Structure 1
């Protein structure tokens, strides 16, 4: 990922690897498909996981967020490692880690073990993605390279949209565990094929050295930040609400919770990271992130837009899946089928993008996409109520999907438009990192909004049931809020619980509507930032 793409080792135009280069491309695409689908496939399976493993909403958020967080934290570093020791080697090792952790996730008997497995999946994904991009760059030339990169980008967009539907089908037909088991045979095919048909390449001109300090500071800072955002509801934003224990460590203070301390650690680590990187740049040392790239307006504003948009994009799909299954009683497959409207809108937009971009320019295509995303979310929010028909939600989801299609297809080219060729590898890694950080924090923030609002709404709705004992009300407030409303699926079959189910459905609907508005605000901020993208990027 780091280094001048023009100077990387290029595969020779002879021999078995060259002859089967397009088969190699198919195998790389399969590897990319696994990790991209895994970022979204779990969304519709989350309600089933909550019920099966008995976990709460905080654990469910971690199941989603830890994958994106670890993926983001390691992308740039692992990309550089591949340039040094061999991209094919890192790709194959990444498949081993990813497939092994997928097996562990499928077998997980508890939420804690599932979260650990998702962490290792993130490590494997971070090894696979940058390696495939660099291998494509080294294997193909001229027009073939443009075609290969088009395939690579199309796979990412298509698989992200396919994830919820595939996850819904597997969860409904078999089990949520098959959302992970499916990676085993496909990963084995990618590994064996990659071993036989993908050429090794590395950057012979890469500078020696490793920015270990920067890596530790950034990783610790991001982990602390997302921990604080996700677990604030459980442990208390300031005063302890629950005892924090981790392995043999127990939080020793009764006057302050671990959450403000975690957020303070995050702020200190990220500040120190920026200072360390600036100092290393001045000394001419190897850096994890060349901060000078952010002096380029298109790169700076483009990355800020990508990060903020990801806050809303991934968070809204997460809470919608919970709403559709908890409040409306949809199966995972039916929920995935409805969310396919987002993919349909994105597909329509992809056919229009070349014409729009050539007429208006890439920057305006991004602006249009951001505006459509905002319209989709803000028209969706008022429709989120317990008796709504999925058909009524579909137009907003399609509009939102069209916005995603316009924005994401052009945002990368806008971000990299003014970046020097020699730094394009690192710049690509940084923009991918921005998206993944945004998705992890977005799920945390919007999930926290849902949890906080759901507890309040449930208490309010249950208090309107005549004759409901206070102890019973408190028990169901805790049960409904801790499971993000997914306990309603079980309660629907319990005689005499009709009033409680109705109250829970209304509470979850209201909380989801609030979370959708928060996601919409993030997208609106992204739209405003996208207006600052320099006009010189238009092409």
Structure 2
């Protein structure tokens, strides 16, 4: 029996899905704030700090599509619950890590748990609520999870400053326990009756190992042999997906030029954003003298702007078509990133950081909603869920690669973050590189995106749920979500 939004069980279902997504969002956004403290405790160099972030994103990006298929095949509640438990146990390992390698390994395990729980949140809401209430439930989920994402950096900064960075992982345990109890008691089991055959685990292994090879080759090098191996594995993944009867990545979607172009814009914008926001907390704490709490709340205006204006941006895109916003939005994002070059050791938040953050938040608001709608409109309605999942994964993979490659390209060496002058020079170079990439993404959108396919099926777009760690667009239509 389907649930209504106002029912008691419906509220419990919403609470459980928000809680599951919030655990992953809070943790992901807090980790960047903790990097300086982790580096000091373990005596870690820049490459180790990169791995603390990328180990998590590697397994998350590599297994996200597999996890969605597992939920369809074996039950959304079951896979969601397994993901929460897995994530909590991995968080416990993170909180007791005794060295940088042990923390990196635990973070990789955390990514597996996040991959298992992430698709289930939206899929559960889509499956258990009556059609008339799905949009409302998903909107509430998006907004509440967005609030959790905003709280994450502040909470993480407070825990780091008041106690230890280890508490940003330990705090997941009681929240996860509550989510599991509520999920088992109140969420009905659902699965896709049309999901048959084996889940493409081999494809998931190939893409994950390929990303490992690319990332390792970029961070520990460049190591061209490992890079080549990673490229070969990714090529093998594409070949396998082309021939397997049940692919996790339906390649036929990329026959749409609009879908391919939108995903390319996604890759560039979110790669630039992920790379810049990886380095920003280090710049603020190690160079500008911010406390963890101050660094944690420095980006809060982005979330406020997006929560306030994303719905209006989506409505505007539905009215005039996506081309203008997808062209201008990345340029605004690039301008905000370029303003990061004003951040140094002597300025104030109001004069250096806030102007950049305001422009960046406006640029993301202009970009994200039409980008989400364009991805969905570029494919038939029956493929909207998988199209959203692919776009989400593209954004995560982009951030992964950016964190791996950007410090080296910008001249930030292994121990440069301990030298304020060297790190500032590298950070400014990295910010300009990211800014240029975003401008190029805007030009690409201007050339490739057209408004003629602006259909009547365009739906209201709710705020994206994972704002800063991986602000990938998510499907939020009332009938089409299947992440």
1:315 equivalent to 2:275? Answer: yes
In structure 2, the residue matched to 1:126 is 115
Q: 2:9 aligns with which of 10, 14, 20?
A: 20
In structure 2, the residue matched to 1:530 is 445
1:380 equivalent to 2:369? Answer: no
Paired residues of 2:58 and 2:212 also in contact (CA < 8 A): yes
Deviation, 1:399, is 0.8
Q: Partner of 1:206: helix, strand, or coil? A: coil
In structure 1, the residue matched to 2:61 is 72
In structure 2, the residue matched to 1:514 is 429
CA deviations on 1:44-80 (whole Å, 9 max, x unpaired) are 1100010012111101011111111211111111111
Q: 2:233 aligns with which of 269, 272, 281?
A: 269
CA deviations on 1:125-167 (whole Å, 9 max, x unpaired) are 1011111111111011233101122223334544444332222
Q: TM-score, normalised by structure 1?
A: 0.80
In structure 1, the residue matched to 2:76 is 87
Q: Partner of 1:226: helix, strand, or coil? A: helix
Deviation, 1:483, is 6.1
Where structure 1 has 5 or more consecutive residues not aligned to the other structure, the ranges are 1-10, 238-258, 456-480, 486-503
Deviation, 1:367, is 2.8
In structure 2, the residue matched to 1:241 is none
Name the CA distance, whole Å, in 1 between partners of 2:367 and 2:170: 33
Distance verdict in 2 for CA 1:533–1:159, change over 3 Å: farther
Name the CA distance, whole Å, in 2 between partners of 1:39 and 1:525: 28
In structure 1, the residue matched to 2:21 is 32
Distance verdict in 2 for CA 1:360–1:162, change over 3 Å: farther
Name the CA distance, whole Å, in 2 between partners of 1:70 and 1:60: 17
Paired residues of 1:297 and 1:534 also in contact (CA < 8 A): no
Paired residues of 1:347 and 1:402 also in contact (CA < 8 A): no
Q: 1:412 aligns with which of 361, 372, 375?
A: 372
In structure 1, the residue matched to 2:478 is none
Distance verdict in 2 for CA 1:406–1:537, change over 3 Å: farther
User: 1:440-479 maps to which residues of 2 (within 5 A)?
Assistant: 440-450=400-410, 453-455=411-413
**Relative to structure 2, which stretch is displaced further, 117-126 or 267-276?**
267-276
User: 1:108-127 maps to which residues of 2 (within 5 A)?
Assistant: 108-127=97-116
Deviation, 1:348, is 4.2
1:342 equivalent to 2:302? Answer: yes
Name the CA distance, whole Å, in 2 between partners of 1:362 and 1:147: 24
1:103 equivalent to 2:63? Answer: no
CA deviations on 1:194-224 (whole Å, 9 max, x unpaired) are 1111110011221213334322221111110
Paired residues of 1:344 and 1:398 also in contact (CA < 8 A): no
Paired residues of 1:88 and 1:198 also in contact (CA < 8 A): yes
> Rg larger in 1 or in 2?
1
Name the CA distance, whole Å, in 2 between partners of 1:522 and 1:367: 13
In structure 1, the residue matched to 2:476 is none
In structure 2, the residue matched to 1:215 is 204
Q: Partner of 1:20: helix, strand, or coil? A: helix
Q: Partner of 1:536: helix, strand, or coil? A: coil
In structure 2, the residue matched to 1:200 is 189
Paired residues of 2:322 and 2:450 also in contact (CA < 8 A): no
Q: TM-score, normalised by structure 2?
A: 0.89
In structure 2, the residue matched to 1:8 is none
Distance verdict in 2 for CA 1:358–1:276, change over 3 Å: closer
Paired residues of 1:385 and 1:506 also in contact (CA < 8 A): no
- Alpha-carbon RMSD across the aligned residues, in angstroms, is 2.1
Paired residues of 2:407 and 2:426 also in contact (CA < 8 A): no
Deviation, 1:113, is 0.9
Distance verdict in 2 for CA 1:20–1:213, change over 3 Å: closer
CA deviations on 1:75-106 (whole Å, 9 max, x unpaired) are 11111111111110011111110011111101
Paired residues of 1:101 and 1:117 also in contact (CA < 8 A): yes
1:62 equivalent to 2:51? Answer: yes
User: 1:123-522 maps to which residues of 2 (within 5 A)?
Assistant: 123-232=112-221, 237=222, 259-280=223-244, 285-350=245-310, 352-354=312-314, 356-381=316-341, 383-392=342-351, 393-450=353-410, 453-455=411-413, 481-482=414-415, 484-485=417-418, 504-522=419-437
In structure 2, the residue matched to 1:495 is none
Where structure 2 has 5 or more consecutive residues not aligned to the other structure, the ranges are 459-483
